[in-house]
Structure 1
Amino acid sequence: MNNPRFCDLNTCAKAAPEVSTDFPDEKKLKAYKDEFLAPYTVGARKGIFVPRELVNKLAKTVALFDNRDLTIGAYVTNIIIAHLVANRDVINELTDRGSKTVVL
């Protein structure tokens, strides 16, 4: 099923012009909640710059999850951790290549 509301941000245009989505089953919903909607103690913080429209979208999205302990920072932290874990091998390889210098 095509869901045009999936990502209606200009910043998401590079991800895919159109995203096909299906209604997830309860198992997928629980897995998502367990991985991304868990409160997280951010601890020492550092600001990053992202498009305002993305922050606004995240604020609305997090509010809809109806979890008082879940913040935008915790949600984004969970997403970034999942991305880093899922792409660990590629990131490590690119990091290794980037840290090498060419001796002329």
Structure 2
Amino acid sequence: MKDLIVPQEYVRDFHFSTDEHLMIMLRIMGPDLDQARDFFKSSADKIFHIKTIEPVHEKEISDKFRLNSIYMDEGPPISVDIDPEPEMIRLILDFEWVK
């Protein structure tokens, strides 16, 4: 897979912690779960072209960023409950701007 388009409803937080560090937090549920997990599983240190609109200043961003670190949390666990919660994955992606 070469490209991954993340729908806006999956993005829980998106902000620059500094001028050069971008933090993106995603929560993905449903059939896209496996695709996102596989895409990011071994992506640390890879360079991504990120194109989006920065929410605070509504500034368009289209640049290259290196994925410094990734935190992945899969849940909720499989359960025998009558009304189980749907599977989901939470991702925290820490990017650094590539100059």
Q: Same fold (TM over 0.5)?
A: no
User: What is the TM-score with the length of structure 2 in the denominator?
Assistant: 0.24
Computing the radius of gyration from Cα coordinates, the structure with the larger value is: 1
Q: Scaled by the length of structure 1, what TM-score is found?
A: 0.23
Structure ranking higher on relative contact order (CA contacts 8 Å, 6+ apart)? 2
Higher helix residue share: 1
More strand by share: 2
